[in-house]
A and B are shown apart, each in its own frame.
Chain A
Amino acid sequence: MTYLRRSNVQAKKNRNLSILVIMGVVLLFAVHVAFPNFYAGLISPIASIAWKSESSVLGGFSRLGSLVRSKYALLIENGRLEREIESRDTGALLLESLRRENEELKALLGREHSGKDVLGLVLSRPPLTFYDTLIIDIGSSDGIVAGDKVYAGGTVLLGDVSEVFGATARVSLFSTPGRIVPVVFGSSTVQAQATGRGGGNFEARLPVDIEIRKGDSITFPHIRSHVFGIVEEIIVDSTDSLQTILFKAPVNMHELRFVEVETGSSQR
């Protein structure tokens, strides 16, 4: 009996195609390694168009949602917000006068911050980004350079600009997992290294004898008045001479819509 041999032409074709594709992928990797910003420069403008259109669509939907909410619910919310504003007014006045005094003293000593803040719309934020980065809609055309400090609400220091493109920029948050930043605890001069844990969370290790309380504010060694984090948890182990301080930024990274970029802060 005669058997026909199975043709291996198709298998050869598949193997050749696979080798070709693998070589292509390796080439892509090589370009990415050699020129880290090459693909980002190509993709960012296209992606920013998609993000901007998404922002406007979502904004439209949220406005539509507020239109159909009942008047009674709005009245209740209005009352609650008015009471909240009243309770915060006194503290805010004091804070504002202290902030002004602080700026005046720095100006008197020739250390005022001369840069200006540029408002940026957040196009992409965690958890969309795995790397704890923000993509903002301002770039080199707005005078942004790599290293500029980025704030939320003008007072909460979030991170710095890591890459700048024409109309967009990438912000690396200080809470990027594994990123080590110097921090100052409370009103003291105790300085330590804090390690980012992602999503605005940090961890720092300090000797047990240094008294730190929950709610203490934490700053970054920078001339501009700001808040960096608030102590959330203190873990003390009786067998360890160091205490672990867990703190987080006082803003929710997942809800950030706008940030301010302090231009010229990269040189200071």
Chain B
Amino acid sequence: MRIFFNILLVVSALFFPWWATGVFMIAACSFVPRFYEVVIYGIAIDALYSSSYGFHGFSWVWSAYASAVLLAAHFLRSRLSW
């Protein structure tokens, strides 16, 4: 599962629309425990696509989003069982 999501996120970051990558990040963090790699993907996407103008001046959207998803998933997983 972990390898599958890693491959999916690499392919998604390069070829899929940004919103698909966002959804895959949530799925990866939900299904794989401690999916820390998601932060690396966030940083990589920012490094690859972001410019100095960023998004309304903020150039770290994907790093912040990936970190938030990871933390949220970790928080929810510790309180839910499936």
Contact = CB atoms under 8 A, between A and B. Distances in A.
Given A40-B48, A130-B49, A29 B55 contact: no
Interface string A14-32: 0000100110110011001
Contacts of A170: 49, 51
Most buried by B among A124, A128, A172: A128
A56 B43 CA distance: 28
Interface string A28-60: 110010001011100110010011001000000
Contact of A178 (B36, B46, B56): B56
A133 B56 contact: no
Contacts of B34: 18, 21
B48 A178 contact: no
Contacts of A40: 47-48
Interface string A145-176: 00000000000000000110000001010001
Contacts of B46: 32
Contact of A162 (B47, B53, B63): B53
A224 interface: no
A131 to B, nearest CB: 5
Given A32-B47, A133-B49, A128 B15 contact: yes
Nearest to B12: A128
B48 A47 contact: yes
B62 interface: yes
A24 B15 CA distance: 27
A128 B18 contact: yes
A143 interface: no
A32 B63 contact: yes
Nearest to B18: A130
Interface string B39-82: 11001111111111111110101110001000000000000000
Given A39-B47, A40-B47, 4 more contacts: A18-B34, A127-B17, A131-B61, A176-B55
Interface of A: 18, 21-22, 24-25, 28-29, 32, 36, 38-40, 43-44, 47, 50-51, 54, 124, 127-131, 133, 135, 162-163, 170, 172, 176-179
23 contacts: A21-B34, A22-B36, A28-B40, A28-B43, A29-B43, A32-B46, A32-B47, A36-B47, A47-B14, A54-B15, A128-B16, A128-B18, A129-B18, A130-B55, A131-B49, A131-B50, A131-B61, A170-B51, A172-B52, A172-B53, A176-B51, A176-B55, A178-B54
